[in-house]
Amino acid sequence: MNGKKFRLKNREEILAILGAGEEDLRELENALKVQVYVKQHPETESADLTLKGQPAAVEKALRRLREILEGFYAARLAPEEARPEITSPLPEGELYKTSYGELIKPRTENQKKYVDAILSRDLVVGIGPAGTGKTYLAAVCALRALRAGEVKRIILTRPIMEAGEKLGYLPGDISEKVHPYLRPLYDAFYSLVGPDKFRAMRMEEIIETVPLAYMRGRTLENAFIILDEAQNTLPEQMKMFLTRMGMFSKVVITGDITQSDLKEKDRSGLVLIKEILKKVAGVKFVNLTVKDVSRHPMVKEILDAYEEWEKDKGPED
């Protein structure tokens, strides 16, 4: 078993590598099959990492640690004018350019209506099946707004049905507890800015991830707020969420009303919101369908097949 040292010189580097509650470090251990022991030095706010494992795995882990720090400093220190994805004008019709140089735009007419609504309204509700781009396009619009200086931060939230909204019994701090449940949101941002930059933005609280239950009592100003999996909210939770909206903020709510995990599905906050807010000016509802699925071509066929099967099956006795 080989062992090598890696020095973290300050608190910022420690957070960039370890993540909140060392969650990022544990992910690296699992992915690269190494063990990492951390010795922190509070007096100097530095830390030493000792990496143990097979020589090839340790070397790969060391390279990965160096890449993470390089990405962190690049995201934090590069001047705006040095970032080509910011300075280069986008071709007509394109919405966003990722850190990987990929140009993003709506692919269907409904997706275009959805994006146009987000760009022009302060409160948008996107409803549709999996794979229609509800969450992904909301993330794109959030980063676009952040880049343009329209908002100062992005807040990602969802109801944590799997844990019954009671996270206290789970081990670790709040970031560790919520991490597995918000992973679908993370995946969208990973593909847009890369994991290292996303991690740096979270560390600097430019992007905040929080369970819906922890939003109570807050007022969110100058923020782009995305509520995902909203079909699993109760009307009281939806009301609480909507009233968090502060000045100069934008809210996008996404969900699939056919996939509610609530026992009383007709009590879904997403199902009832259209009726409740029908007289509120400025709210825009956009429905997406299986025709808007932008995943692997088979996903649309799978959804069509299930829809046909459910029709043939008919109502249960």
For the chain, the structural domain boundaries read 2-77, 96-313
User: Tell me, what's the pLDDT at 81?
Assistant: 39
* Res 307 pLDDT > 60: yes
Q: Which of 64, 11, 66 is nearest to 33 (CA)?
A: 64
User: Tell me, what's the pLDDT at 164?
Assistant: 45
Between CA 194 and CA 186 the distance in angstroms is 10
For residue 139, give the amino acid letter.
Answer: A
Structure confidence at residue 136 as a pLDDT band (50, 70, 90): very high
CA 175, 178, 179, 182 torsion-angle sign: negative
User: Are 70 and 194 within 8 A, CB to CB?
Assistant: no
User: Could you report the per-residue pLDDT of 237-282, keeping only the tens digit for each?
Assistant: 999 999 999 999 999 999 998 888 887 877 899 999 989 998 898 8
Whether the domain at 2-77 and the domain at 96-313 fall into the same CATH topology: no
Q: Kindly report the CATH number that applies to the domain delimited by 96-313.
A: 3.40.50.300
Between CA 118 and CA 141 the distance in angstroms is 7
Q: Which of 18, 71, 67 is nearest to 40 (CA)?
A: 18
User: Tell me, what's the pLDDT at 194?
Assistant: 86
Between CA 126 and CA 149 the distance in angstroms is 24
State the average pLDDT over residues 64-71: 79
Structure token digits, residue 201: 């933005």
User: Could you report the per-residue pLDDT of 191-246, keeping only the tens digit for each?
Assistant: 898 888 888 888 888 998 888 888 888 889 999 999 999 999 999 999 999 999 99
User: Are 199 and 205 within 8 A, CB to CB?
Assistant: no
Q: Give this prediction's pTM.
A: 0.67
What Rg value do the Cα atoms of the chain yield, rounded? 22
Top-ranked range on mean pLDDT: pick from 1-5, 287-291, 307-311, 312-316: 287-291
Q: Kindly report the CATH number that applies to the domain delimited by 2-77.
A: 3.30.1370.10
- What is the three-state SS of the chain? CEEEEEEECCHHHHHHHHCHHHHHHHHHHHHHCCEEEEEEECCCCEEEEEEEECHHHHHHHHHHHHHHHHHHHHHHHCCHHHCHHHHCCCCCCCCEECCCCCEECCCCHHHHHHHHHHHHCCEEEEECCCCCCHHHHHHHHHHHHHHCCCCCEEEEEECCHHHCCCCCCCCCCHHHHHCCCCHHHHHHHHHHHCHHHHHHHHHCCCEEEEEHHHHCCCCECCEEEEECCHHHCCHHHHHHHHCCECCCCEEEEEECHHHCCCCCHHHCHHHHHHHHCCCCCCEEEEECCHHHCCCCHHHHHHHHHHHHHHHHHCCCC
User: Are 264 and 220 within 8 A, CB to CB?
Assistant: no
For residue 74, give the amino acid letter.
Answer: A
Chain-centre distance of CA 196, in angstroms?
14
